[in-house]
């Protein structure tokens, strides 16, 4: 029977298990990436493992998230990252070089390889035919040390593309359509493989927009074939030598198939506050807009920004709109500067931001109170912009630019004739901001400023546990809710005692103090708990505060893996009736954990406050049970190394 592309790449990297959906498999990781917001922890964890040099084919440390330097903290982190990378064989992409995913796609990604990144939008690499997966920093640290990456073998969804995008309709509208159909939970336990005759009509950056925002489906990753379009892109990046042709067999099968006719799509937006709240721009209508932001790892390729520049050339941004642009990479930024497009943007009234994540992670450009902000980004969770009551719509660069000119949400088809962008045969190649690791690592001193605090390590799980429900929350809690980011909190990411004071800050500010006082606690959540970013601080900081278990209706994949990695027990309620038996403040007893965990399919928990019992499911593999009993992956790895 023919194989799909996912099966081919996973097979070539399979170390343990069989490719049967739902079973745990281990794969070899060829490349890793980290960004600064998760990287400091990943490298502290790598150091704790005691491996002198990375064992991957390529590992890169990017600095793109926290580039605002209003105190010493971020600068300390950047210096630590640069020195630790040099010592341990890791390339270092300096601040200013661009957003990790875009730079990686342009300069380092290789079709057919596996990439593990400590950032949830690592699947961007699927745009050139990589199996690129987002994970917690500790998983990335283990991969850098040569260890396998364990995952639940996903189902493969084939998205069969036919037709061709109409003028003014873009790749963003494709992924918004997939989100509309599959929802933010629809990709859990799945890899999305794009196939069909429509694939050839999409450029690599367009494909990368689609695989990037596949993260919002909850999917393990998304992937496109590596074809003549991929070869053309890599040739323009002076990297034709890494191209290989890759695609599904003609008789490949998929667990599920979705058909999308590209020619039937229209400009769309994701409405506040979820990436799957999709409507067409015409359905939403001409609402007044106060801010337009273009950039992020989703939509700031050369073609994206050239289109925007052409649309605003000779015009002026609407007086009620603040219009910001953050180019995704220094390559694109410099090309725009040299060909005059940057001047067109500046002349039209755009505020040019650094080539970094910036406002996407709440680092600057928070909208005014209650404002409507149209962004080309990938997430519009409540409060992520830094303004709690802002209304964020996610859109294509074309919709965003049209809106910046008119001051109301605008379908770009209303503006006139479409714009054609001539793509350069060669991109501007200059990797001087990527520093190679030292050839003499023994001479490199790792520089630790006061913001780099030691890594807290969990203790082994007790044989039985009695703990209070410190917090009870509803559905769709994101990692932004659990561990908020933004200009005030993000600089504390290398200092767990300090950052843990902000856990659940926007949900219940008393949580950190109550958890610490209790000394040992449980969190209860609803569906899709922990969706959003890969930030392991959303597990690490609650662990530091004494959280031992999280019970929900369902978990997002990366967050659940992070909980396990830090020795926190992830449990799901067996039924709605069981979930209804727990309230905040109740005291729960988990008896005989030592014996039952790993043996029984379900556990019985006693609610000491009400006297009732209820049932939960651990759904843990043998390896995961051992990790949790050891108090986390780091303890487990050390124990196994002895």
| Residue written as token pair 């998929």 | 254
Which one among 151, 208, 229, 360 touches ligand F3S, defined by CB under 6 A?
Answer: 360
3-state secondary structure of 235: helix
99 binds ligand F3S (CB under 6 A): yes
CB closer to ligand F3S out of 39 and 112: 39
Distance CA 47, CA 27 (A): 22
522 binds ligand F3S (CB under 6 A): no
User: Which residues, in sequence order, are CB contacts of 615 under 8 Å at separation 6+?
Assistant: 573, 574, 575, 578, 602, 603, 604, 605
CB closer to ligand F3S out of 224 and 377: 377
Residues annotated as catalytic (active site), given as ranges: 64-65, 119, 379, 533, 535
| Residue written as token pair 């610490």 | 516
Using the rule CB under 6 A, give the single segment among 66-74, 98-106, 537-545, 567-575 that binds ligand F3S.
98-106
113 binds ligand F3S (CB under 6 A): no
3-state secondary structure of 197: helix
CB closer to ligand F3S out of 196 and 324: 324
CB closer to ligand F3S out of 126 and 512: 126
550 binds ligand F3S (CB under 6 A): no
User: Which residues, in sequence order, are CB contacts of 637 under 8 Å at separation 6+?
Assistant: 49, 142, 147
226: its two tokens: 């590596």
Tell which positions 195-224 bind ligand F3S, by CB under 6 A.
Answer: none
CB closer to ligand F3S out of 196 and 491: 491
Q: What is the CB-side half-sphere exposure of residue 201 using CA atoms within 13 A?
A: 18
Cβ of residue 124: shortest distance to ligand F3S, in angstroms? 8
CB closer to ligand F3S out of 199 and 208: 208
β-strands 521-524, 465-472 pairing? parallel
User: Which residues, in sequence order, are CB contacts of 606 under 8 Å at separation 6+?
Assistant: 588, 589, 591, 612, 613
115 binds ligand F3S (CB under 6 A): no
357 binds ligand F3S (CB under 6 A): yes
Contacts with ligand F3S, 247-286, as mask; x by CB under 6 A: ----------------------------------------
391-394, strands of its sheet edge to edge: 278-280, 268-270, 391-394, 372-375, 291-294, 322-325, 351-352
Using the rule CB under 6 A, give the single segment among 79-87, 97-105, 175-183, 524-532 that binds ligand F3S.
97-105
For residue 20, count CB atoms less than 10 angstroms from its CB and return exposed for 0-12, middle for 13-18, buried for 19 or more: exposed
Distance CA 244, CA 8 (A): 13
Nearest to 305 by CA among 414, 144, 459, 421: 421
Contacts with ligand F3S, 126-145, as mask; x by CB under 6 A: --------------------
Which parts of 330-390 are beta strand (E)? 351-352, 372-375
Cβ of residue 87: shortest distance to ligand F3S, in angstroms? 25
Using the rule CB under 6 A, give the single segment among 93-101, 197-205, 435-443, 460-468 that binds ligand F3S.
93-101
**Cβ atoms within 10 A of the Cβ of 337, count?**
14
10 binds ligand F3S (CB under 6 A): no
Using the rule CB under 6 A, give the single segment among 317-325, 341-349, 357-365, 576-584 that binds ligand F3S.
357-365
Which one among 65, 190, 535, 557 touches ligand F3S, defined by CB under 6 A?
Answer: 65
Distance CA 523, CA 470 (A): 6
User: Which residues, in sequence order, are CB contacts of 579 under 8 Å at separation 6+?
Assistant: 526, 553, 573, 614
Cα 392–Cα 394–Cα 400 angle in degrees, nearest 5: 100
Using the rule CB under 6 A, give the single segment among 94-102, 184-192, 331-339, 340-348 that binds ligand F3S.
94-102
Using the rule CB under 6 A, give the single segment among 99-107, 193-201, 254-262, 594-602 that binds ligand F3S.
99-107
CB closer to ligand F3S out of 296 and 531: 296
The H or E element containing residue 572 is strand 569-573
Which one among 31, 83, 296, 458 touches ligand F3S, defined by CB under 6 A?
Answer: 296
Distance CA 516, CA 520 (A): 8
3-state secondary structure of 150: strand
CB closer to ligand F3S out of 89 and 367: 367
- Scanning 97-203, the segments in alpha helix (DSSP H) are 100-103, 137-144, 171-182
378 binds ligand F3S (CB under 6 A): yes
Cβ of residue 534: shortest distance to ligand F3S, in angstroms? 10
CB closer to ligand F3S out of 177 and 216: 216
174: its two tokens: 């494709």
Which one among 107, 121, 413, 537 touches ligand F3S, defined by CB under 6 A?
Answer: 121
Cα 72 to Cα 81, 85, 384, 499: the distances in Å are: 14, 20, 24, 15
Using the rule CB under 6 A, give the single segment among 19-27, 96-104, 275-283, 493-501 that binds ligand F3S.
96-104
297 binds ligand F3S (CB under 6 A): yes
Using the rule CB under 6 A, give the single segment among 11-19, 22-30, 95-103, 567-575 that binds ligand F3S.
95-103
CB closer to ligand F3S out of 106 and 119: 119
Cβ of residue 480: shortest distance to ligand F3S, in angstroms? 11
CB closer to ligand F3S out of 65 and 87: 65
The H or E element containing residue 331 is helix 330-339
Q: Give the total of residues touching ligand F3S (CB under 6 A).
A: 12
Cβ of residue 269: shortest distance to ligand F3S, in angstroms? 17
Cβ of residue 624: shortest distance to ligand F3S, in angstroms? 28
Using the rule CB under 6 A, give the single segment among 130-138, 165-173, 355-363, 409-417 that binds ligand F3S.
355-363
Distance CA 542, CA 592 (A): 23
538 binds ligand F3S (CB under 6 A): no
Nearest to 542 by CA among 590, 503, 495: 503
Distance CA 341, CA 309 (A): 6
CB closer to ligand F3S out of 25 and 100: 100
361 binds ligand F3S (CB under 6 A): yes
Nearest to 586 by CA among 565, 569, 562, 611: 611
**Alpha-carbon Rg of the chain, whole angstroms?**
24
Cβ of residue 216: shortest distance to ligand F3S, in angstroms? 10
Cβ of residue 271: shortest distance to ligand F3S, in angstroms? 19
Which one among 30, 76, 77, 119 touches ligand F3S, defined by CB under 6 A?
Answer: 119
Which parts of 163-287 are beta strand (E)? 190-195, 221-223, 256-261, 268-270, 278-280
Binding region for ligand F3S (CB under 6 A): 65, 99-101, 119, 121, 296-297, 357, 360-361, 378
């Amino acid at each position: 029977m023919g194989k799909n592309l996912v099966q081919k790449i996973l097979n070539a990297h399979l170390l343990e298990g069989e490719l049967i959906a739902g079973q745990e498999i281990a794969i070899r990781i060829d490349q890793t990436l980290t960004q600064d917001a998760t990287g400091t922890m990943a490298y502290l964890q790598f150091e704790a493992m005691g491996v002198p040099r990375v064992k991957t084919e390529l590992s890169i440390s990017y600095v793109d998230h926290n580039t605002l330097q209003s105190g010493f903290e971020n600068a300390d982190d950047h210096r630590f990252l640069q020195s630790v990378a040099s010592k341990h064989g890791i390339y270092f992409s300096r601040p200013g070089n661009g957003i990790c995913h875009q730079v990686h796609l342009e300069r380092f990604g290789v079709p057919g390889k596996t990439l593990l990144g400590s950032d949830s939008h690592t699947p961007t690499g699927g745009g050139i035919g990589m199996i690129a997966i987002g994970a917690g920093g500790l998983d990335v640290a283990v991969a850098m040390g040569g260890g396998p990456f364990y995952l639940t073998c996903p189902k493969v969804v084939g998205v069969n593309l036919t037709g061709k995008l109409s003028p003014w309709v873009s790749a963003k509208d494709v992924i918004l359509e997939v989100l509309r159909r599959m929802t933010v939970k629809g990709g859990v336990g799945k890899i999305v493989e794009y196939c069909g005759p429509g694939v050839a009509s999409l450029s690599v950056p367009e494909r990368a927009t689609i695989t990037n925002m596949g993260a919002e489906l909850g999917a393990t990753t998304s992937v496109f074939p590596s074809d003549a379009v991929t070869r053309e892109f890599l040739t323009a990046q002076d990297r034709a030598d890494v191209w290989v042709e890759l695609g599904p067999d003609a008789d490949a099968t998929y667990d599920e198939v979705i058909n999308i006719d590209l020619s039937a799509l229209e400009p769309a937006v994701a409405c506040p506050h979820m990436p799957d709240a999709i409507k067409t721009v015409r359905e939403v209508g001409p609402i007044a807009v106060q801010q337009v932001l273009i950039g992020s790892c989703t939509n700031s390729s050369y073609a994206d920004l050239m289109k925007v520049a052409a649309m605003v050339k000779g015009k002026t941004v609407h007086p009620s709109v603040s219009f910001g642009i953050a180019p995704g990479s220094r390559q694109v930024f410099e090309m725009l500067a040299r060909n005059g497009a940057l001047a067109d943007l500046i002349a039209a009234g755009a505020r040019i931001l650094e080539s970094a994540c910036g406002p996407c992670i709440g680092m600057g450009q928070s909208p005014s109170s209650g404002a409507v902000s149209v962004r080309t980004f990938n997430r519009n969770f409540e409060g992520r912009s830094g303004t709690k009551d802002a209304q964020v719509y996610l859109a294509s660069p074309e919709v965003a630019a049209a809106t910046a000119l008119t001051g109301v949400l605008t379908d770009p088809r209303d503006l006139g004739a479409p714009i054609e962008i001539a793509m350069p045969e060669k991109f501007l190649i200059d990797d001087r901001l990527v520093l190679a690791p030292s050839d003499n690592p023994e001479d490199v001193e790792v520089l630790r400023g006061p913001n780099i605090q030691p890594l807290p390590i969990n203790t082994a799980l007790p044989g039985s546990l009695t703990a209070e429900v410190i917090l009870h929350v509803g559905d769709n809690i994101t990692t932004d809710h659990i561990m908020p980011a933004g200009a005030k909190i993000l600089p504390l990411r290398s200092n767990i005692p300090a950052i843990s004071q902000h856990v659940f800050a926007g949900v219940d500010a008393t949580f950190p103090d109550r958890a610490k006082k209790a000394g040992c606690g449980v969190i209860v959540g609803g569906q899709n708990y922990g969706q959003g970013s890969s930030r392991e601080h959303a597990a690490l900081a609650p662990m530091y505060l004494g959280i031992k278990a999280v019970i929900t209706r369902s978990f997002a994949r990366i967050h659940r893996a992070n909980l396990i990695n830090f020795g926190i027990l992830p449990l799901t309620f067996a039924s709605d009736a069981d979930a209804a038996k727990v309230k905040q403040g109740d005291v729960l007893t988990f008896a005989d954990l030592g014996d039952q965990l790993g043996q029984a399919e379900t556990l019985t928990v006693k609610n000491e406050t009400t006297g009732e019992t209820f049932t939960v499911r651990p759904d843990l593999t043998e390896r995961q049970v051992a990790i949790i009993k050891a108090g986390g992956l780091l303890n487990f790895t050390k124990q196994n190394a002895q």
